[in-house]
Chain A
Amino acid sequence: MATAETRRLTAPDRLRRSLSNGRVSAALILLPPALILFTLFVMLPLGESVWYSFFSWNGYGTPTDYVGLENYQRIAGHSVFHTAVGNTLKIVAISILLQMPLALLLALLIYRKTPTNAVFRLIFFVPYILAEVAAGLIWSFVFDGNYGVTASIAQSLGTESFFILADRDWAFVAVMTVIVWKYFGFHMMIYIAALQSVPEDLIEAARIEGAKRRQIVRYVQIPHIKPAIIVSAFFAIIGALQVFDIIIPLTNGGPSNQTHTIVTYLYTFGLTRLNIGFGSAVGVILFIAAITVAVFYQRFFMQRGQA
């Protein structure tokens, strides 16, 4: 029988094939630059951070004062860190519950390619283009109770001026407002691109079948752009873990450390106070949090979403 003599492909056969078709050499040429950069700028600093986090070290000289897990214990017991984690979670919540729906609503209004929509798209996207520090500064002027827009409003209403950024209860609300304002345009653009890829035929077919605008959005457009929504939520969550340079010019973490996020907490209590070991421990915690979120999200949402 011919089948008895049919040659089976063995591992060396496959290796020879890979070598001859250039895949291995392509990998050998293309992989090292990325691998070297990743090792130099991500893996080594990360390893160093983990190492420093076991020391009480001010950043000068070689760390010698080994303290074990003490830095982690201090962080775990520090109420400001709890506030920072809470604030980060609040940003995640506000991003998902307010920012993303707002972005989707606006995207649905202006996704069609018309000159007017292009103008609106630009207007809504401008905050995202602005540097975070600039945005923070602009809004700190807006919220300024002496000279800012808030002051003018208070004046015109004849009420006493309100210093929102100095208010323990309201400062973080102001911060979240700025964050929503700054990043909704980014999510809107993701949705616009996705909505533009929904075939017009599908929408027309739904219209013929009697779907009203809202039903078309619910049954046709949103299911179609679900992968984009999942990706945008991922960016929102990871972005929330990284919020830093909007808060520094706005509140610098104040008043009374009420508006810190994990990164501003790291910066304030680790870097500016020269507690590099402590800061490194915060960095390691943040890294683990980000990786955990990324892996879980990838596993539970993105693969299913893409399917």
Chain B
Amino acid sequence: MAEVRLQNVEKAFGNLTVIPDMTLTVPDGSFTVLVGPSGCGKSTLLRIISGLEMPTKGEVLIGGQDVTLEEPSDRGISMVFQSYALYPHMTVAQNIDFGLRLAKTPAEERERRVAEAARILALEDFLDRKPAQLSGGQRQRVAIGRSIVRQPGVFLFDEPLSNLDAALRTQMRVELAQLHQSLDATMIYVTHDQVEAMTLADQIVVMNKGRIEQVGAPMDLYDHPETEFVAGFIGSPRMNLLPGSAIGREDVNTVGVRPEHIRADTADGDWPATAQVVETLGADTILYAKAERIGDVTVRLPGHMRLSAGEPLFLTPDPDYLHLFDEGGRRVNAA
């Protein structure tokens, strides 16, 4: 049982309050992703859970135990850092083994666990190498291996894929998902990449300015964003957030409509517009258009549309998929 609970956690650095008051439950065995823009406090929150930072107020509970004052090593957690944090003077095997050695685990048991981690992460051929002799993806695997051997209840990941190239990132994402399935441990993952959040998470926590904007399953957040911020943050290309008054909805402040919920037609439609930029991605075409009296609108069109910049066209939003927000940016109701 390794549920993680934050109870009214507050964190301030001097006069700067990074996390004002946060209560959050990360269910046992879940893959929870903390996502938000840079500086929103997600890494700080992870560091509070890990014990590397002390909260200014509030409690951290792991598996029902109050660990607020416990050392990081006594919390039953492990952490994978953005920089991998591998010891450069140690070999891969020594890096993976380090925590076990400190814990005075018997040599046989250590060897067994290191071999098992190396097998899971396909590192058997690199155990005698130093980190400098490894590629980015291999280093990342070593960092994960170091976490696995300690058999923690909770894995913490601080933007672990951000230093990898796009192809490797996709591959590692799949590997992490598989790892979660096979280990069945609680994983808390910090990222600012919403694709990672959408693909990996059972539960996404969207943070903004130290507060939780919304917690939910990826598709819940996508289909029913509770705030304008979540609406704009989750989804790529991002949701069009248009002024209500400009599209005849004076009753609300902002109307959100996802790019795939707008139809483009050269003959007829609701909003006359002009194509600005057309990105052909193969399966989709992303159209950036300027609509009269409304402004910039992004449209995702299925397949390969033959459009060129400057071409006049008409845009029509699907009325079933409008997201309405009041002046405070809160969701009004699903249209």
Contact = CB atoms under 8 A, between A and B. Distances in A.
Interface of A: 199, 201-202, 204-211, 215, 219-220, 223-224, 226
Contact of A209 (B51, B82, B89, B150): B150
Choose among A204, A208, A211 the residue with the greatest number of B CB atoms under 10 Å from its CB.
A208
B81 A209 contact: no
Contacts of B309: none
Nearest to B71: A207
A220 B98 CA distance: 11
Contact of A223 (B79, B83, B87, B150): B87
Given A199-B85, A202-B85, A207 B52 contact: yes
Contacts of B64: none
Given A215-B102, A219-B98, A208 B78 contact: yes
Contact of B83 (A201, A208, A211, A226): A201
B102 A210 contact: yes
A205 B50 CA distance: 10
B146 A209 contact: yes
A205 B102 contact: no
Contacts of B237: none
Given A205-B79, A223-B90, 8 more contacts: A202-B85, A204-B52, A205-B85, A208-B79, A211-B73, A211-B102, A224-B88, A224-B89
Nearest to A215: B102
Contact of B99 (A210, A220, A223, A226): A210
A204 B72 CA distance: 9
Interface in B77-105: 77-79, 81-83, 85, 87-90, 98-99, 102-103
Contact of B81 (A204, A224, A226): A204
| Chain B interface mostly | loop
A221 to B, nearest CB: 11
Nearest to B103: A210
B258 to A, nearest CB: 38
Nearest to A201: B85
8 tightest A-B CB contacts, nearest first: A209-B99, A210-B73, A201-B85, A205-B85, A223-B89, A208-B72, A210-B102, A201-B81
Contacts of A211: 73, 102
A18 to B, nearest CB: 31
Contacts of A226: 89
17 contacts: A199-B83, A199-B85, A201-B82, A204-B81, A206-B98, A207-B52, A208-B51, A208-B72, A208-B73, A208-B79, A209-B78, A209-B98, A210-B103, A219-B87, A220-B87, A223-B90, A224-B89
Name the interface size band of chain B: 20 to 34
A210 to B, nearest CB: 4
Nearest to A211: B102
| Chain A interface mostly | helix
A208 B78 CA distance: 6
Contacts of B72: 204, 207-208
Contacts of B71: 207
A208 to B, nearest CB: 4
Contacts of B81: 201, 204-205
Contacts of B83: 199, 201
A204 B86 CA distance: 11
A217 to B, nearest CB: 13
Given A199-B83, A219-B98, A207 B73 contact: yes
Nearest to B158: A201
A208 B87 contact: no
Contacts of B90: 223
B199 to A, nearest CB: 26
A77 to B, nearest CB: 48
Nearest to B102: A210
A55 to B, nearest CB: 53
B264 to A, nearest CB: 48
Given A201-B85, A219-B87, A208 B102 contact: no
Nearest to B75: A208
B50 to A, nearest CB: 6
Contacts of A201: 81-83, 85
A100 B141 CA distance: 38
Contacts of B99: 208-210
A209 B102 contact: yes
